[in-house]
Amino acid sequence: MSALSDVAKMADVSPATASRALSGRGYVAEETRNRVVAAAAEMGYLGSPVAFGASEASRSVGVVVPHIGRWYFGRVLEGIESALTEEGYELILRRLPADPLERHRTFETLLLRRNVAAVIAVGIESGDDVASLVHSLDRPFVAVGGTVKGAAGISIDDRSASELITGHLVSLGHERILHLGADPTEDADFGVHALRLAGFRDAMRDADLEHAGTTMTTELSIPGGYTAGLAVLADPRSRPTAIAAGSDEIAIGVIVAARQLGIAVPEQLSIIGIDGHELADMFSLTTLAQDPVGQGSQAVRRVLGERGDSAPEWKEHPVHLEVRGSTRAPLVPLR
């Protein structure tokens, strides 16, 4: 299957010019347009109007995500789909693969073969490869919960969020605090975990507690938190008095593990999370809540309502601390 770059090379034009010629958006000289269309037809490029008989923008928006089954992504997609439905648009969902060539093809498929009107990327920390492709293909683009170089974005400040929840534990008198999060090296596209780990370290350093803080990684899920909780809480001699979890799902898993081990929360162990998961209230979990549904809705408003705005801007989405029954001062002062 031919790629847009192959068509551009045959027609002796840039990929951006080839994109405009095939999509019908933006000025391209008639002779150049005919040359690009002829090259696309000769190469069997499926993104061309020759193959599909139309160059008008569809009433659809492409959404790319690194994961589909996780809570955050599902909630953002709810917000996106609801807002798109209100606007009369269809959602076309694609998971972004790890392989660079396949990533390139994913965006080309969305932007040309499916001829989407705009693209929303959820939870993607992209390098220059994706950023340059997005900008060259000339579609409105917004990143949610991640950053794409030079593009508009909507997310919470994950580093500050983690610093805040760790600071909450410090303010209660805890010193032996464990940060339990997902492994940033295994989830490079979703760069949130590296930021939340950095925020924990910021808070511990500011409190002069770097010597007392520890870190551990686990799978980003309730079972992941449960497994890690059993491992870290089994020995009372090395047990922390508080855990700052990288997500509510991890925190909930730790609470289940603590109950199984007979450890009272919060009397013997304080636990705090980030996200505002719908199960947080059931487990009386103190959490820094965000609104992923609202982030998805806002992304749609941005990408459909500000098409003429060429100045990329990052919008910080609000968060709020919900203090429940999983955190309290340690029973025995550590000093």
Q: Rg of the Cα trace of the chain?
A: 24
Query: Is 20 a residue whose pLDDT tops 50?
Result: yes
* 184 lies in the same domain as 278: yes
Q: How confident is the model at residue 52 (pLDDT cuts 50, 70, 90)?
A: very low
* 48 lies in the same domain as 63: no
What average pLDDT does the chain have? 85
Query: Is 132 a residue whose pLDDT tops 60?
Result: yes
Query: What secondary structure does DSSP assign to 236-294, as a single string?
Result: TTT--SEEEESSHHHHHHHHHHHHHTT--TTTT-EEEEEE--TTTTTTT-EEEE--HHH
Q: Which residue has the higher pLDDT, 33 or 77?
A: 77
Residue 107, exposed/middle/buried by CB under 10 A (0-12, 13-18, 19+)? Answer: buried
Backbone CA torsion sign across 130, 136, 139, 142:
positive
* 16 lies in the same domain as 67: no
Instruction: Dump pLDDT digits (tens) for 150-191.
Output: 788 899 999 999 999 999 999 999 999 999 999 887 776 678
* 228 lies in the same domain as 195: yes
Query: Is 27 a residue whose pLDDT tops 70?
Result: no
pLDDT of residue 38: 77
Instruction: Dump pLDDT digits (tens) for 315-328.
Output: 899 999 999 999 99
Structural domains in the chain (count): 3
Please identify which residue in the block is written with the tokens 């593009």: 151
Count how many Cα atoms sit within 13 Å of the Cα of residue 123 in the half-sphere of its side chain.
Answer: 25
Instruction: Dump pLDDT digits (tens) for 195-237.
Output: 999 999 999 999 999 999 999 999 999 999 999 999 999 999 8
The answer to the question of residue 297 being in a domain is no
For 318, which DSSP code?
Answer: P
* 186 lies in the same domain as 253: yes
Instruction: Dump pLDDT digits (tens) for 284-303.
Output: 999 999 999 999 999 999 99
Q: What is the C-alpha to C-alpha distance for residues 153 and 245, in angstroms, rounded to an integer?
A: 25
* 98 lies in the same domain as 14: no
